[in-house]
Structure 1
């Protein structure tokens, strides 16, 4: 495929691309763009600009406007099964839900009596449970939150049952857990470890866990390693391919862990989301900008 934005490592990747599609810069001027989430019912994308303490919305044909400001240094976003926005807030060190009337409900801000570190990214399972990561990025400086000493002894992956309020640490051995996503059948949970951001000896890997019906996790082997930058946010398509952020763009891995190829992006990628009417448009938050590209794959 003659397009300089693509790196083909496996022939299977060519079948996931559209030769005539180009990388579009939809917006620029962010300080650190993150947390894209698609609202199909409103035909718009919401994403975060963490250091600027704002959340933005992009609407086709209208461009970008402010969705919420101040945002409390919101990072990752998703939607629950009722369509409500779920967000990870660095500033308040909490996971919040935006209600239909615009009010904010705190879902989790403490574990075992101590404040969370700084919830980073979040995903909702089909049973309504909310899974999120809790690294320390929002408390190590005043740039993406407020400097503070961590109160949690570990940097956990959490499972929250919003019906009961029960919060459980399901994994506690990460350096810095970051992006996370389920496989299409929800039998596997993938979690990125981005500890290399502050520890050069750490490996830039995404791990995979088996998910029991009870919600317990097992396994945790390395699913893939990146050769450029570190993994941050990622998503899976309906075929189980994993599309992850990286230092040089978006890397795509097959369900067996083979890297299929890359979409090269001019700026360091932080996160991505599938959207558009057919969920075949990949929205990419990359440092200062929001990009998009059409692919021959559909997001879950």
Structure 2
């Protein structure tokens, strides 16, 4: 354990963080950790080491084990309202769901007859619709997937409805990455991390209004990251945005006002809330996985 380092940019930050809470290292020695997801029914955390194509599990008081040695270079994960794991797989270029009996269901692997790029992050809305981003990171090299040509016209944000229909909802972003829904599901937040590989790219989070029928309105840049790029996104119970970046976890009010930073020893790739009280922040950061308690709970399952 180590002392937590926090930078306050607004007094409201002290309602969200616990500076005296120790910063814990749950696991280390990885190549690139991603996709943390907490299972409340079992009180455990899973995440992926993308280059090693492994999925790991951490259980309180028991420690860490490899849960899957051939995880298809999986990246982002989420837990749907029925408690099922939904995963973005770079190697298979698909979004899949693991049923409660262990079966693997493919939610999406193509759009308009062409293979997806490499699904990156995913969320499930209250109606069962699955939203996911599809940049090309997993097909650019063999390190995080398999080097392959893109078959799509761009990198889009998709929605797979409960019937299985896949629709490109946002086509205006260069490298859409992390995403999150506002508490009332009227805003979709999407990170564009294209500056990671393109000097002319973006490092911002865009807010898109959502209509009653899940139609997407014109987006506006809500947050611009100063160091590195925005990657994973999560909301707390008040609708504040927690964003993983090169500096750690940066926290913003719903209007985009920066509140502060929880610094991490390495670049933070993704994050999620969990624990029995949903007040523990889990962070996948480069070679390690960290945890710290917060003064706020993570957002509950979205509901319209």
- Fold match, TM over 0.5? yes
Distance in 2 of aligned mates of 1:45 and 1:110: 29
Q: Deviations over 1:156-196 (max 9, x none)?
A: 0000013x111000000111000000011111110000001
Aligned to 1:78: 78
Q: Deviations over 1:5-43 (max 9, x none)?
A: 000000000121113102111110111000001100000
Q: CA deviation at 1:200?
A: 1.3
Aligned to 2:120: 120
Distance in 1 of aligned mates of 2:27 and 2:112: 41
TM-score (norm 2): 0.96
Give 1:64-213 correspondences, 5 Å limit. 64-162=64-162, 164-213=163-212
> Aligned Cα RMSD in Å?
0.9
Q: CA deviation at 1:219?
A: 2.2
- Aligned residue for 1:138, secondary structure, equals helix
Aligned to 2:33: 33
Aligned to 1:297: 296
Count how many residue pairs are aligned between Structure 1 and Structure 2: 297
- Aligned residue for 1:219, secondary structure, equals coil
- Aligned residue for 1:21, secondary structure, equals coil
Q: CA deviation at 1:202?
A: 1.6
Aligned to 1:264: 263
Distance in 2 of aligned mates of 1:58 and 1:234: 21
Distance in 1 of aligned mates of 2:233 and 2:280: 14
Aligned to 2:219: 220
Q: CA deviation at 1:4?
A: 6.4
In structure 1, the gaps of 5 or more residues are none
Give 1:224-243 correspondences, 5 Å limit. 224-243=223-242
Decide whether aligned partners of structure 1 residues 19 and 90 sit closer, same or farther in structure 2, where only a CA change above 3 A counts: same
- Aligned residue for 2:262, secondary structure, equals strand
Runs (4 or more) in structure 1 with deviation over 4 Å come to: none
Distance in 2 of aligned mates of 1:133 and 1:85: 17
- Aligned residue for 2:97, secondary structure, equals strand
- Aligned residue for 1:218, secondary structure, equals coil
Contact 2:4 2:262 in 1 (8 A): no
Give 1:280-291 correspondences, 5 Å limit. 280-291=279-290
Q: Which moved more, 1:137-146 or 1:66-75?
A: 66-75
Q: Deviations over 1:112-156 (max 9, x none)?
A: 000000000000001110000000000000000000000000100
In structure 2, the gaps of 5 or more residues are 300-304
